[in-house]
Amino acid sequence: MGKITAWASDWGEVVSHLCGCRREADVAGHLAIIGYRSLVGGVPSGSLDIQVRWYAHPDPEQVRHQVRTEPLQRYQNPGGDEVCWELVEIFAIEPFAPSESGGELIGFIANVDELRSLV
């Protein structure tokens, strides 16, 4: 697996490149890149959690459905406010089949301005 040396505008292109998937028969599931924003007391706090998750589903639409129907993560912070992580974006769902042991799967380089609109 090679490292990406240029900025990529398409998350799916990044995932496909890093996973080294060559054809559908190589797929061992799907990787999803998902963004969640933090709400504290129902108000956006400016925090964004970008997660890369692996799903064993062979169909990307099953992955999308599972992500969209998962319950919100909720907890109370030390100040007594409810903290909730709200789904804001499914950036990509791409076939995943690792091709090199120990190789880099995902790495993010992002400009803060690119992510600001999501929080």
Residue 70 resides in a domain: yes
Calpha distance 95→70 (Å, rounded): 21
Residue 3 resides in a domain: no
Does residue 71 register a pLDDT over 90?
Answer: yes
Residue 5 resides in a domain: no
More confident residue, 97 or 105: 97
Residue 23 resides in a domain: yes
Does residue 118 register a pLDDT over 60?
Answer: yes
**Enclosing domain of residue 60:** 11-116
Calpha distance 84→75 (Å, rounded): 7
Residue-wise pLDDT for 11-41, tens only, equals 455 545 555 444 445 567 899 999 999 999 9
pTM over 0.85: no
Whether 52 contacts 32, CB under 8 Å: yes
More confident residue, 8 or 4: 8
Residue 72 resides in a domain: yes
Domain tally, the chain: 1
